[in-house]
Structure 1
Amino acid sequence: MKTVFSAILCLGLSSVALATSPAVAQTAKQAPPPLEAYGELPDIEDVSLSPNGRIALLGKVNGKRMVLMLDENRKPMNYALVGDIKVRSIGWAGEDIVIVQRTDTQELGDRFIADQAEFSNSMLVPVDSSKPVSTVFADNRDILNANYGSYGQRLIDARWYGYYAGLPMKRAQSGNSYYDGDPIALYRVDLAKNKAERIASGATNRGNRDWEIQADGSIGAYLDYFRQDHRWVLRNGSDKQLATDYTSDDGWASLAGFTRDGTGVVVAITDDDNDVEWFSVPLQGGSTTKLFDDVDGTVDTVYTDRYSRRMIGYALEDAPDEPIFFDEERQDAVRKVIQGFDAQNGKIVGWTPDRTKMLVTTNGNFDSGTWLMVDTTAGSTFQIGLERPAISPGLVGPISTFTYTAGDGLEIDAILTLPPGREAKDLPLVMLPHGGPQAHDEEGFDWWAQAFASRGYAVLQPNFRGSTDKDQAFVDKGNGEWGKKMQTDLSDGIDALAEKGIVDPSRACIVGASYGGYAAMAGITLQKDVYRCAVAVAGVSDLKRMVSREYNEGGSRSLRDFREETIGPRSEMDSISPAKLADQASAPILLIHGKDDTVVPYEQSTIMADKLKDAGKPYELVTLEGEDHWLSLSSTRLKMLAEAVRFVEKYNPAD
């Protein structure tokens, strides 16, 4: 373990005071870091705490990507190299096993409607280095080697068990396994032995089943949701029906844990606008009660105990990063932590079950990302490490909120990132609209924005109409405005910055991914002479084809209706599809797309490339082999960034 001990020193782990770090002045003459510092996955991607405060860390140590485990005294116990696999999360089962959740993109073959799908697996990494790493279901030929949901871990008779949904397989006479149409079932897995036992069947009649597991490992309740008629049915572990009702057409019903005293189960009902209402239903039967009526604000998230699934707190829609616990003593400690890191854009991202130790991340001005552990009992803070140590405080571009008025008078908030050490005057601009589009950007270190800022560009990330940074009415203003007001909301930001003298409006490019990729294509086809160039990553170019494909691959009619409500009528989609308007492209465009994208198919970029080629318009197409929609791989994410920066610098040089 000597190499691991030396690696810990490289991470810069050290005790630090709870007080905020002193401000560091930006240095104008410092050379920018290499693009690798921005484009590669950060040195720390995720951290998890065990019940006793042991640390599991996903990140790079001495250049090798691994899951590293430290004991309560922060001494290394074991590690597992993970290379370039797509890790989605890490978490502890007790004190001796770390569960690594990963996904893989796989080809489905001719029997399936879709070409590809993303499959999830759970890797079990023991603290004891003499024991092997294994994968749930991997050695069981009666279950597909993938899990379809995780329902937590429970300690039963001194053994840890994990609960996973899996797809039952049949054995052919040849010995090969095949899928025969059985619904997803629930399995209990002995985590030490990695041995699975089927404990419940799944829903029939095309329903989706959701389970809640009691602290003793028994099934407390399960809910079946039937998408075809929007009906849900709730039963307890003894199969007694507790409640049934209907959701709205685009709604959903799911379980969210048990009540505080454990006598009831919590049901979350999501409506067409993605708003959630919370209800409790007694496990032995009785009337349904709406929760949080006495709370001032809209409850967005419910927190539950890790091992009993009883409610311990919640978070409000207006403050999603500020957990509110029912235990007043713990809530007082949380409040102090939030206040202590407020100036550093601090967020509580995890805690031990007793909430005496908390994980905090900070990032923003002078901070490219820091992970810390706060011990509320001892009143101390320990710095776990830095996400991007190559980007020193003085090299972080200034971040602020820039507010302006759209052409029709609507107020738009945008995140403005400026080049470090450079006067904010007549700068070249990179317009960087977010994906979604029902999402939003907020103040903080954004690796993509900071990469462009480090090369001398101002970067604007508008929360255009349809974004989620304000109320539902603001979200609804985006309905039917793809390629229209959602698009001009972006270019109105250029005019506002130009009026302040911050940017030169004739030196702007537009760059984006997913919906932002669509906006980049639309910026040079639906608009004219606004941008010098465009970079579209995993963007949608043919809206009608995209919506039809979703429906043909199993999407519901309500999903298709939702697309028509938000994008616009199907009859008008061609008029706002960049691929249909390729002959009007007014600037060069770079198309970048992951070959394994299961959200926006790779063909959306090849269609646009073919149309641009036919029209004799300048374009480039870069294929990211093995990459998905989320730029999960370090090497291909860096390739995307390098190509995007190269293209923008070619057509819109900063100097």
Structure 2
Amino acid sequence: MFHRGWLAAAAAALVLWAAAAQGAPLEAYGKLPTLSNVIISPDGATLAYVKELDTKRVMVAQSIANRQVLGIINITDSKVRNLQWADNQTLILTTSVTALPRGLTGRRQEYMLAQSFNTQSKQQRALLDHVGNLKEDVEVMNVVAGVPQPRTIDGHTVIFVKGIYFPNNVGHLALFSIDLTANSTRIVSRQNDSRAEDWVVDDAGNIVAESSYDEEEQHWKLEIFRDGERTTVMDVPAPIESPSLEGLSEDGTAVIVSLPGNDGNPTYKQISLKDGTASAWAHAEVGFGGVITSLKTGRVTGGTRLTETNDYVFFDPHADRMWRSVKAAFKSATDVDLESWSDDRMKVVAHVFGTDYGEGYFLVDMTQHHASPVGPAYAGIDDVAPRRWIEYKAADGRVLHAYLTLPIGKDGKDAKNLPLIVMPHGGPHARDYPGFDWFSQALASRGYVVLQPQFRGSDGFGLDLLTAGYGEFGKKMQTDLSDGVRALAAQGMIDPKRVCIVGASYGGYAALAGATIDTGIYRCAVSIAGLSDIRAQLRYWRWPRNNVDARSDRFWDRFLAVGDPDDPKLKDISPIKHVDKVSIPILLIHGKDDTVVPYSQSDDMADELKDAKKPYEFVTLRHEDHWLSKSETRLQMLQATVKFLEANNPPDPPAPPTPVASAQ
């Protein structure tokens, strides 16, 4: 149990963070987080984090005891994807870059790069640099394809990570071993194996399992390593969904494999490393959506429970008690997310969100029963808008859920006849997540209700909801959104004549479909990196043709219920083919460096709207990717969106201030 002083410290943090009144400037929401990637070292002595300053972004390592800065790197021009500790003095920073390396054929892609930084020596190095055991005519770049996994072997810090190498200029996956102590790097998996895709490494740094995929047979195979021999222990058909290697069992004697389940939840098996036999995993019935694997040991330590809020279950009773205590300390919070904790679980970094707390990071010291504020992720935002989980029915009776964010100062009882923004998520086989969402919070701060439906085709809520979206692009997936509008209108919460739709990626497609296919619902539409021409998008994804692994192609064929990109049904669901039906203003926003949905999807849509003399605006984000990874262009997107919404769907004017009686 926590002492009262703990909660008092959490409340005091709110005062420390108070930097703005209701309706913070858009810069507070639109720029990259002021503070992110907050992690604690294994011994609990040092915090590391990414800090956004006025003119630059830095990675910082800082002593917890005396707040002394132990190291700092300028990463202003980097797109940070991950930060982790390899040991108590060494950090691993993963970034990405949009590029087409010299000598390769194809189009520009997003490549992941990794480097280490030692807080004592201040030395930096690329992880996949100077690989020592390459065969002739083999090249390698510092491109990683997975999360680095540190091990301590004979006193050395050794990193294992999937990476890409190029025998005969053809990219293959391999497992690399990087001994940071000895400054040596080598490939430890078989070279020239084009089918291998994942590996499990034990505490001693030995590969104990390898999975591979055979595109010709459309089979997934698992091999285990015993006494220097490879033994195939699983060989299953996997034309689309494949099993996954999750890691080692708690005692390290088996490999945990998740297989696609018939109900949408994975089925877990454990494969003995001694004899290769498969059996049910002891923790399979705990009831979680995904596993938590220790990067330090490779062993599965728990699982995630994600519905409308974040939660975790840990198999070690001590760890599970520690997490329950942390949650109890912030019992009135809307969401508490575990960011990082020390090896002994006595120091925890939690990201907390709720109207009683605002949002930000806390350092929880279990020995002192005290929570100290590290800082807000978004400096300058004091008041946060209330966000809750709601339920409504689609026209065919299907029960759907959504996140509903109300304008700041509204509690639901006084929310009447308000303007609404419908914000469908990307994917579409994805979902929205609990916690602080900068985009919906920014719009709510301007007086809008924001609805984020988990429409059919969304993932993370069971197989039934996911498969219900197959073949429903522009159809029931779209009307699930407008059914949410009708449900809120029936409650009197929103004004059905003041509704706009805003989305990115698939959400951008849904915004365009709301203007061209499911019409008559919205006053305006904002498409951010959205698809307009499904046929052109499928052709983009399929060139150059990947003859090694076409599972993604088969997935989209199934999701769209088509046989190939030339299927005439695609015209019916492509907004660019229905520009004649547009009767509302459309804002198109797209990054020039987008490698997922190409810039041409918005550029071509703009041309069609222009030729048809339809009302539209087009904003180009220079040097921006699909994920809005840069502060300047992310803010540019938000400012353009809010300006467009306020012009075409004005919010209610702010209420006049309450007069304060003068002293007599």
State the TM-score, normalizing by the size of structure 2.
Answer: 0.87
Partner of 2:362: 372
Q: Judging changes above 3 Å, is the alpha-carbon distance between structure 1 residues 18 and 116 closer, same or farther for their aligned structure 2 residues?
A: farther
CA contact (8 A) 1:438 1:468 kept: yes
Structure 2 Cα separation of the partners of residues 293 and 190 of structure 1: 34
Distance 1:529 1:424 in 2: 24
Aligned to 1:402: 390
Partner Cα separation in structure 2 for residue 180 and residue 311 of structure 1: 36
Q: What does 1:493-532 align with in structure 2 at a 5 Å threshold?
A: 493-532=484-523
Distance 1:381 1:157, change over 3 A: same
Following TM superposition, by how much is the alpha carbon of 1:168 offset from its aligned partner in structure 2, in angstroms?
A: 3.8
Residues 406 and 630 of structure 1: CA distance in aligned 2, closer, same or farther (over 3 Å): same
Counterpart pick for 1:329 among 297, 318, 323: 318
1:34 maps to amino acid:
P
CA distance in structure 1 between the partners assigned to 2:204 and 2:377 by the alignment: 38
Quote the Cα distance in structure 2 between the aligned partners of 1:236 and 1:320: 40
> 1:325-374: per-residue Cα shift (whole Å, max 9, x none)?
22223322222222332421112232222322222111133544211122
Partner of 1:382: 372
CA distance in 2, matches of 1:181, 1:23: 53
Q: Give 1:157's aligned residue.
A: 154
Secondary structure of residue in 1 paired with 2:292: strand
Equivalents in 1 of 2:84, 2:283: separation in Å? 33
Out of 80, 83, 86, the residue aligned to residue 73 of structure 2 is 80
1:571 has 2:571 as partner: no
* Aligned mate of 1:641, from 635, 638, 647: 638
Identity score, percent: 36
- Which residue in 1 is equivalent to 2:609? 612
Find the aligned partners of 2:607 and 2:61 in 1 and give their Cα distance: 49
Give 1:603's aligned amino acid: S
Q: In structure 2, what residue type is equivalent to 1:359?
A: V
The structural deviation recorded for 1:79 is 1.2
Question: In the alignment, is the contact (CA less than 8 A) between 2:9 and 2:370 conserved in 1?
Answer: no
Give the AA of the match of 1:562: F
> Separation in 2 of the partners of 1:202 and 1:272?
36
Mapped pair 1:221 → 2:213 = no
Contact kept? 2:85, 2:91, Cα under 8 Å: yes
CA–CA distance in structure 2, aligned partners of residues 409 and 466 of structure 1: 16
Is 2:128 the partner of 1:137? Answer: yes
Which residue number corresponds to residue 416 of structure 1? 404
Listed as ranges, the matches of 1:177-576 within 5 Å are 179-181=168-170, 183-192=172-181, 194-202=183-191, 204=193, 206-228=194-216, 229-236=218-225, 238-270=228-260, 275-292=265-282, 295-297=285-287, 299-316=288-305, 321-344=310-333, 345-393=335-383, 396-421=384-409, 424-468=415-459, 470-554=461-545, 558-569=551-562, 570-576=567-573
Q: Could you tell me which of 105, 115, 119 is aligned with 1:127?
A: 119
Deviations 1:216-269 (A, max 9, x none): 222222222223322313131623214131143212233222122222222233
Residue-by-residue CA offset, 1:434-481 (whole Å, 9 max, x unaligned)? 111222235532211111121222221122222246332122222222
Secondary structure of the structure 1 residue equivalent to 2:11: coil
Instruction: State the alpha-carbon separation in 2 of the partners of residues 421 and 230 from structure 1.
Output: 55
Verify the 8 A CA contact 1:346 1:363 in the aligned structure 2.
yes
Q: Name the SS for the 2:268 alignment partner.
A: strand
Q: Residue 186 of structure 1 contacts residue 202 of structure 1 at CA under 8 Å; is this kept in 2? A: no
Q: CA deviation at 1:277?
A: 2.3
Counterpart Cα distance in 2 of 1:200 and 1:443? 39
Task: Report if the CA contact (8 A) 2:202-2:298 is conserved.
Answer: yes
Aligned residues: CA RMSD:
2.8
**Per-residue deviation, residues 288-324 of structure 1 (Å, max 9, x unmatched):** 1121476243x43222333222232233465883322
Cα deviation for residue 187 of structure 1 reads 2.5
Matched to 2:622, the amino acid is E
Residues 1:102 and 2:95 aligned together: yes
Change (3 A) 1:150 1:653: closer
For 1:46, the aligned partner's letter is N
In structure 2, do the counterparts of structure 1 residues 486 and 276 end up closer, same or farther at CA, with 3 Å as the change threshold? same
Tell me if structure 1 keeps the 8 A contact 2:14–2:358: no
Q: Secondary structure at the match of 1:438?
A: coil
- 2:627 is the alignment partner of 1:630: yes
Cα offsets for 1:597-632 (capped at 9, x unmatched): 121122111121122122121212212122111111
Distance 1:245 1:304 in 2: 24
* Closer, same or farther: CA 528–275 of 1 in aligned 2, 3 Å: same
* Secondary structure, counterpart of 1:499 in structure 2: helix
Contact kept, 8 Å, 2:419 with 2:495, in 1: the verdict is: yes
Deviation at 1:161, TM superposition (A): 1.6
Q: In the superposition, relative to structure 1, how do residues 161 and 260 fare at CA in structure 2: closer, same or farther (>3 Å)?
A: same
- Indicate if the aligned counterparts of 1:247 and 1:271 stay in contact, CA closer than 8 A: no
CA contact (8 A) 1:365 1:397 kept: yes
Q: Which of 590, 611, 617 is the aligned partner of 2:587?
A: 590
Instruction: Answer yes or no: is 1:38 the counterpart of 2:29.
Output: yes
Mark the runs of 5 or more structure 2 residues left unpaired by the alignment: 132-137, 653-664
SS at match of 2:482: helix
Answer yes or no: is the 8 Å Cα contact 2:29–2:442 preserved in 1: yes
Pick aligned residue for 2:109 from 110, 117, 122 = 117
In structure 2, the CA distance between the partners of 1:577 and 1:357, relative to structure 1 (3 Å rule), is: same
Change (3 A) 1:257 1:611: same
Deviations 1:418-447 (A, max 9, x none): 222365222222111111122223553221
Is contact 1:511–1:535 with CA below 8 Å preserved after alignment?
A: yes
Matched, 1:65 2:57: yes
Per-residue deviation at 1:579? 0.6
Distance in 2 (CA, whole Å) between partners of 1:420 and 1:305 is: 39
Structure 1 segments (4+ residues) deviating >6 Å = 22-25
- Equivalent pairs, count: 625
Q: CA deviation at 1:93?
A: 1.1
User: Is residue 220–residue 236 contact of structure 2 (8 Å, CA) maintained in 1?
Assistant: yes
**Is this contact kept in 2: 1:368–1:388, CA < 8 A?**
no
Inter-CA distance 70–459: structure 2 relative to 1 (3 Å threshold): same
SS in 2 for 1:599: coil
Over 3 Å counting, the alpha-carbon distance change for 1:203 and 1:275 in structure 2 is farther
In the aligned structure 1, how far is the partner of 2:460 from the partner of 2:175?
38
The amino acid that maps onto 2:326 is V
Secondary structure at the aligned position of 1:240 is classed as strand
Using a 3 Å threshold, how does the CA distance of structure 1 residues 528 and 203 change in structure 2: closer, same or farther? same
Decide whether the 8 Å contact of 1:162 with 1:189 is kept in 2: yes
Change (3 A) 1:495 1:634: same
Corresponding residue SS for 2:238: coil
> How far does the alpha carbon of each residue in 1:620-646 deviate from its partner, in whole angstroms, 9 at most, with x for none?
221212211111111111111111111
Decide which of 571, 577, 580 is 2:577's aligned counterpart. 580
Helix, strand or coil: the match of 1:640?
helix
Instruction: Please give the secondary structure, in 1, of the residue aligned with 2:381.
Output: coil
